Chain A
Amino acid sequence: MVRIFVDDKEIFVDEKKSLLQGCLDNDIYIPNLCFLEDMDDPPGSCRMCFVEIEGMSQPVISCKIEPKADMVVRTATEEVIRLQRTSLRLLLSIHEAKCKACPSNKKCVLQQLVRRLGVRIRPRRYDHLTRSVVEDSPHPFLKIVHSRCILCGRCIHECRKQNGNALLTFARRGIDTIVTTYGEEEEMWLTCDPCLACIEACPVSAILLKDALSEETLSEDETVQAAEYQKQPAEGDGDVRQVENSTAHDSKVKRHEIHRISAEGDAIEQVAESASTDEAQAQCGHRMHRRR
């Protein structure tokens, strides 16, 4: 444990964990999207978790900083907020913010950040961009909505954690980068059906069960096939699989329900839109004011 100062507050953090984690452990929130506590080597890709550290000329991302004794950290300087706002606006400029129809509505990390940082859910500063790939699903029962995905990579991390080898991966590059699944269909059934960790991990409901939003999309044929498949014992350790599969089926139903329930709440979109910059600053930026 080392002692550091964050926004003039003395805290003690584990020097083996990142500065971001240290702050979160002490109930100091720093916006972050691509970070999860159990990552060995967080990607540092979302560019949200900026802080200023005394002695460093520019803001740095806190998920990649090792805390050092007596470090003096500021989490909400003008510079920091400016970069965080731009990062968020950029993400939103290519994010299809149809909040009413989104299962994440009201618990979405983007909505939270929009309010915290005082930007609009549809930023005026940048034209809206559309992804070249909107939806594609080589997966038998998972759907990835690229127009929602913020490429945080949490799903890939969770998948790797659950299954050793991720069945989800980034594909293409640059602005066309997407998250996609790969592998043989059989492998996907065997691995994904009992798992679905990615759905849980996604902060913006960009990964869903194909039948999560509209029951009709899964044709009767496919439903039957899916059921059939589960009945067939897998080679060798068939019994175990069957048990796993049946529990997975249950959990699938449960998640399904969560999605349906949340899809009903739709008020937040207006809330998010109407939140004026001033209000938002009042909520999130008291530190900023104090600095000025």
Chain B
Amino acid sequence: MTMEKAEKRYQLLIDSARRHLSNQENGGKPMIHIGMATCGLASGAAATKAAFEEALSEIDLDVGIIPVGCLGHCYAEPLVVIHNPGFPPICYHNVTTGKAKALVRAFLKEGDPLFEYVLGAMEENDLIPSVMDFPRFNLEKRVVMEKCGLINPEEIDGYLAGGGYSGLLKALKSSPDAVIEEITESGLRGRGGAGFPTGRKWRIARDALGSHKVIICNADEGDPGAYMDRTLIESNPHQLLEGMAIAAHAVGAEEGIVYVRAEYPLAVTRMENAIRQATASGLLGKGILGTSFNFECTIFEGSGAFVCGEETALIESLEGNRGMPRHRPPYPVQCGLWKQPTIINNVKTLSSIPHILNRGAQWYKNIGSEKSPGTAIFSVVGKVVHPGLVEIAMGTTLRTLIFDICGGIPNHRRFKAVQIGGPSGGCLPESFLDTPIDFDSLTKAGAMMGSGGIVVMDEDDCIADVTRYFLDFTQKESCGKCTFCRIGTLHLLNALHRITRGEGREGDIELLQVLSEEIKEGSLCGLGKTAPNPVLTTLKYFMEEYEAHILEKRCPAMRCRALTAFYIDLELCARGCDACVGSCPVEAIFTTANRKKAIDQEKCVKCGECVAACPPEYDAVKKVSPPELAPIIERPKEQ
């Protein structure tokens, strides 16, 4: 009986959402969708929107503007999709204010779609090539990001109109045990890094004794360069709320907390807004959809430490203590927030839940690989042509991801390595490009899924320097509780500093190797246990680079300043040309006796400005490592 009522109420919500949306479109008026997640805003989406508004008001056209989330194509932001009746929806890239004004005049007023600005059409048609013809689109498998960038994250209607919250309805209609069974059957593994089976976690929580179980969504996302969780919240917050509500129903919780980084103000605002709207629609709060199920959700703004993403530290921080990890067991599902059974799941994990309930465990299992079903979302940055967010089926190889989907390495440089899993992950060389991306294969290779940050490096990146960068991050983020991580990581970092400064010592490689293994073994929490991964993998796969630094004082990538020098090839230098002289910030360039130029090595700060200043037809400034390779040219006395 109540279920029939719930179904009716849900149908009313859907109908009203659809009516709302079609009213907005007002019988087929043109609509402009502007990507306004943080990535879009950072690229100037707000100015683009203002330019559209201004241009439209000038010619008095009735066009709707809808802010949407992120499509994942961060290299092309601001992205705009224009729905102009008579045309397929067209996606435009890098829409500056100027392009916005031009589009209003040419396309919306006169019907010329300005092909030169087009990225592609959003659906198949005869007029304009579809974006689906690009590998960046068609090799992806969008499940969790399906609606990102297509719906308005600030209104619940867009999500509802596409069948949103039907997974929750389905869950309410079946028993909690059946929901857990379905999730277990789907094989979903936690996307927060470790890949723990979600169904099993929920089962333990369901069976645990406790009067006040809690669902926590972990949106702390502290990895440098990772922003998948932020994008999911900014682009589709209701998907996450639906997942949390389903989890609550399954384990018997009535309280949910979204733990968001305080540095994500837009995500916080959109989440607050979504909670308000879902509550007003009867999808959250007391008596959801008229049933007896209650679920209240609140937001907690995290305190900005990477380690607070670790589940026990997260709980400490929620309880108002220092965000320091605790020994596990007991695990939070047994004894978590205020000693109650607590489920902590990542944003991506929870956002997958509605899809699994809607389309079934079998469907989900068919995506991805056997032991790691489903999709993975990565933020791919570094030396690739198309950086951004990518959702792929698990089991896709690194090669496909880097070379096909993300367009490969720019400027005809050679691929060197890929760091996968953020600062706790590992650095894999070319021979691992055919490794399938899934939890177990990556762990086997010495890397890990981690949070999903991928940094691609080419031949110009120095492995020791990159490792130092990651260690610098983890060392600074160590909470300081336990001995190995607190002190050990600093010794590792100091050794890496020495090596990249050309002061590496004979025992340094052994120190890095042995201490890394001991820190992994001896540390209390996942931060310390994984912090040495970049060191261990680079030692394993790029030992020759370390040896070059220490034994030959040579940086093979010519990155480490102390190990490189610039000089001007006198054969190539054009007599009388002085293009480089003014570019040098420290006046290290002087004129030789035969009116060519040379660099005073004592003064040179190795900024590389002269390389850029030397006209390409001469290309006379050379960089070498070790620095002794630079010929020494005396300054003429009578200057």
> CB distance A45 to B487 under 8 Å?
no
> CB distance A174 to B488 under 8 Å?
no
Q: Which residues of B contact A50 (CB under 8 A)?
A: 522
> CB distance B491 to A90 under 8 Å?
yes
> CB distance B478 to A173 under 8 Å?
yes
> CB distance B480 to A86 under 8 Å?
no
> CB distance A175 to B522 under 8 Å?
no
> CB distance A175 to B484 under 8 Å?
no
> CB distance A174 to B480 under 8 Å?
yes
Q: Does B255 contact A (CB under 8 A)?
A: no
Q: How far is the CA of A43 from the CA of B483 in the complex (A)?
A: 12
Q: Does A185 contact B (CB under 8 A)?
A: no
Q: Mark A152-184, 1 if CB is under 8 A from B, else 0.
A: 000000000000000000101111110000000
The DSSP consensus for interface residues of chain A is loop
| A83-B522, A174-B476 given; A126·B481 CB < 8 A | no
> CB distance B482 to A175 under 8 Å?
no
> CB distance A129 to B490 under 8 Å?
yes
- Tier of interface size on chain B: 20 to 34
Q: Which residues of B contact A175 (CB under 8 A)?
A: 475, 478, 480, 486-487, 490
Q: Does B543 contact A (CB under 8 A)?
A: no
Q: Does B479 contact A (CB under 8 A)?
A: yes
- Tier of interface size on chain A: 20 to 34
In the complex, how many residue pairs between chain A and chain B have their CB atoms under 8 Å apart? Answer: 82
Q: Does B513 contact A (CB under 8 A)?
A: no
| A90-B488, A129-B490, A174-B475 given; A83·B518 CB < 8 A | yes
Q: Mark A81-118, 1 if CB is under 8 A from B, else 0.
A: 01100110011011000000000000000000000000
> CB distance B477 to A86 under 8 Å?
no
Q: Which residues of B contact A93 (CB under 8 A)?
A: 487, 491
> CB distance B484 to A87 under 8 Å?
yes
Q: Does A283 contact B (CB under 8 A)?
A: no
Q: Which residues of A contact B475 (CB under 8 A)?
A: 174-175
Q: Does B511 contact A (CB under 8 A)?
A: yes
| A47-B524, A173-B479, A175-B490 given; A86·B322 CB < 8 A | no
Instruction: For A127, give the chain B residue with the smallest CB separation.
Output: B494
Instruction: For A172, give the chain B residue with the smallest CB separation.
Output: B480
> CB distance A45 to B524 under 8 Å?
yes
| A86-B515, A174-B475, A175-B490 given; A47·B480 CB < 8 A | no
B322, B482, B491: the one within 8 Å of A46 (CB) = B482
Q: Which residues of A contact B625 (CB under 8 A)?
A: none
> CB distance B481 to A43 under 8 Å?
yes
Give me 13 A-to-B residue pairs in the complex whose CB atoms sit less than 8 angstroms apart, sorted by A's number: A46-B483, A47-B523, A64-B327, A83-B522, A86-B522, A90-B483, A93-B487, A125-B511, A129-B490, A170-B480, A174-B478, A174-B486, A175-B475
Residues in chain B within 8 A of chain A (CB atoms): 305, 322, 326-327, 475-484, 486-488, 490-491, 494, 511, 515, 518, 521-524
Given A45-B483, A86-B515, output 15 extra A-B contacts at Cβ < 8 Å.
Answer: A44-B326, A44-B482, A46-B483, A47-B484, A47-B523, A50-B522, A83-B518, A86-B522, A87-B522, A90-B488, A170-B322, A172-B480, A173-B322, A174-B479, A175-B487
The 5 closest A-B pairs by CB, nearest first: A177-B480, A90-B487, A44-B327, A174-B478, A174-B480
